[in-house]
């Protein structure tokens, strides 16, 4: 090598270039550097969403200041979460659930007038094509569990009954399992049914008292809940999808307010308007009137539908 290179150019000699205009990266201009790059997006909605996501991600990095090892842990967490997903399990939805994101996305999409019934999460256990039944039918096919009578009305926001509302109900059994989780143990379509309201808007059917159950906690989401000092349980509930022509479909639960996990649903599905009351009825006259042979749980709840 010759000696011509004895005075090396220092890296900071390139000050004439402006980092903002050039898109070169600095900690201070990082959000702008990235969002400016997205300005030719083919889809305005994607551009807008990615701009917000970029800004929030960078704000999070600036606030947390993750070490390189912590960043790598986050990468590995996401990778393992992806690897757990298959046709049967969706760990990213579970992650969205336990971070309250699923409920928030639902909330911003279903802002309803005061008094209208609120939504909760759909959950992974809804099954299309469950049987349509006559009012009063028992959706429990195997006789397991404490008997329950569920009844109420489907109303509009003026308190008028809705004729021809379709009620799709499903629930876990007394052990906290849905039929699809116990194929070969529970009958097909156990604890599921569809009902159609008459002009009085009333519905009534029989089931069994539901029980709390854990979300799948043997994956990354379970590990996260564990380190966050959180349990994986959902309080006892009944699922409903209620549809009627001209009204916003309600996808929701009703909850037992006396459940031990009612204040700490792992997926934040509980809203105070969704608390029903589960009354234990031991009065022999009522037991006889309702056609039960033993004490039963009486659950009364009216759903209020908002016009579209």
Applying CB under 8 A, the site for a copy of itself has a residue count of 115
Minimum gap (Å) between residue 65 Cβ and a copy of itself: 5
Kindly give, in sequence order, each residue whose CB lies less than 8 Å from that of residue 66, ignoring residues fewer than 6 positions away. 74
Stretch that binds a copy of itself, among 106-114, 177-185, 187-195, 207-215 (CB under 8 A): 106-114
Would you say 115 or 187 has its CB closer to a copy of itself? Answer: 115
User: Whole-number minimum distance, CB 206 to a copy of itself, in Å?
Assistant: 10
Task: State which of residues 269, 296, 297, 305 lies at the interface with a copy of itself (CB under 8 A).
Answer: 269
CA distance 95 to 225: 10
Residue 23 binds a copy of itself (CB under 8 A): yes
Cβ 189 to a copy of itself shortest distance, Å: 23
- By CB under 8 A, the residues from 226 to 245 that bind a copy of itself are 226-230
Q: Which residue has the tokens 């704000």?
A: 59
Residue with tokens 């900071």: 12
Q: How far apart are CA 216 and CA 224, in angstroms?
A: 12
Question: Which range touches a copy of itself (CB under 8 A), out of 139-147, 163-171, 190-198, 273-281?
Answer: 273-281
Three-state DSSP class for 167? strand
Radius of gyration of the chain (CA): 27
Residue 92 within binding range of a copy of itself, rule CB under 8 A: yes
Q: To the nearest whole angstrom, how small is the minimum distance from the Cβ of residue 182 to a copy of itself? A: 26
Does 306 bind a copy of itself (CB under 8 A)? Our answer is no
Residue placing its CB nearer to a copy of itself in the complex, 51 or 174: 51
Using CB under 8 A, pick the residue from 112, 125, 136, 287 that binds a copy of itself. 136
Find where tokens 């996808």 sit.
251
Q: Are 265 and 114 in contact (CB under 8 A)?
A: no
Residue 40 or 184 having the CB closest to a copy of itself: 40
Residue 238 CB, nearest approach to a copy of itself (Å): 13
Check binding of 152 to a copy of itself (CB under 8 A): yes
Nearest Cα residue to 210 out of 276, 268, 118, 121:
276
Interface residues for a copy of itself in 42-71 (CB under 8 A)? 42-43, 45-50, 52-54, 56-68, 70-71
User: Is there binding between residue 99 and a copy of itself (CB under 8 A)?
Assistant: yes
CA of 187: how far to CAs of 110, 127, 233, 263, in Å?
34, 14, 25, 32
264 binds a copy of itself (CB under 8 A): yes
Please check whether residue 276 is in contact with residue 256, taking contact to mean a CB–CB distance below 8 angstroms. Answer: yes
d(CA 286, CA 121): 34
Alpha helices (runs of H) in 38-190, residue ranges in sequence order? 44-64, 68-84, 91-98, 101-109
Q: Is 158 in the site for a copy of itself (CB under 8 A)?
A: no
**The one segment of 171-179, 184-192, 209-217, 257-265 that binds a copy of itself by CB under 8 A:** 257-265
When asked if residue 130 is in the footprint of a copy of itself (CB under 8 A), the reply is no
CA 20 to chain centre: 41
Cα 289 from chain centre: 38
Instruction: Give 105 or 307: the residue with its C-beta nearer to a copy of itself.
Output: 105
Given the complex with a copy of itself, which of 49 and 185 has the nearer CB atom? Answer: 49
Strand partners, 203: 152
Q: Are 148 and 173 in contact (CB under 8 A)?
A: no
Assess 271 for contact with a copy of itself (CB under 8 A): yes
């Amino acid at each position: 090598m010759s000696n011509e290179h004895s005075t090396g150019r220092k890296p900071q000699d390139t000050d004439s270039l402006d980092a903002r205009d050039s898109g070169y990266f600095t900690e201070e201009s990082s959000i702008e550097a990235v969002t400016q790059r997205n300005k030719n997006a083919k889809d305005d909605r994607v551009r807008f969403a990615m701009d917000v996501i970029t800004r929030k991600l960078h704000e999070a990095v600036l606030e947390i200041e993750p070490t390189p090892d912590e960043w790598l842990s986050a990468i590995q967490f996401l990778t393992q979460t992806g690897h757990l997903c298959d046709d049967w399990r969706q760990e990213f939805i579970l992650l969205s659930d336990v971070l309250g994101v699923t409920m928030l996305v639902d909330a911003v999409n279903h802002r309803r007038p005061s008094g209208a019934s609120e939504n909760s999460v759909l959950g992974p256990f809804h099954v299309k094509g469950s049987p349509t039944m006559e009012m009063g039918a028992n959706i429990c096919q195997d006789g397991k569990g404490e008997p329950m009578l569920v009844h109420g009305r489907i109303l509009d926001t003026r308190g008028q009954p809705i004729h021809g509302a379709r009620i799709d109900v499903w629930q876990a059994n007394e052990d906290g399992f849905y039929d699809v989780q116990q194929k070969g143990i529970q009958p097909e379509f156990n604890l599921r049914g569809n009902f159609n309201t008459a002009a009085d808007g009333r519905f009534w059917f029989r089931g069994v008292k539901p029980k709390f159950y854990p979300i799948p906690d043997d994956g990354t989401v379970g590990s996260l809940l564990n380190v966050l000092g959180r349990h994986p349980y959902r309080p006892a509930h009944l699922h409903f999808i209620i549809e009627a022509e001209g009204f916003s479909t309600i996808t929701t639960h009703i909850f037992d307010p006396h459940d031990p996990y009612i204040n700490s649903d792992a997926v934040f599905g509980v809203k105070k308007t969704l608390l029903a009351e589960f009354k234990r009825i031991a009065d022999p006259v009522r037991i006889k009137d309702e056609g039960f042979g033993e004490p039963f749980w009486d659950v009364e709840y009216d759903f209020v539908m908002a016009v579209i």
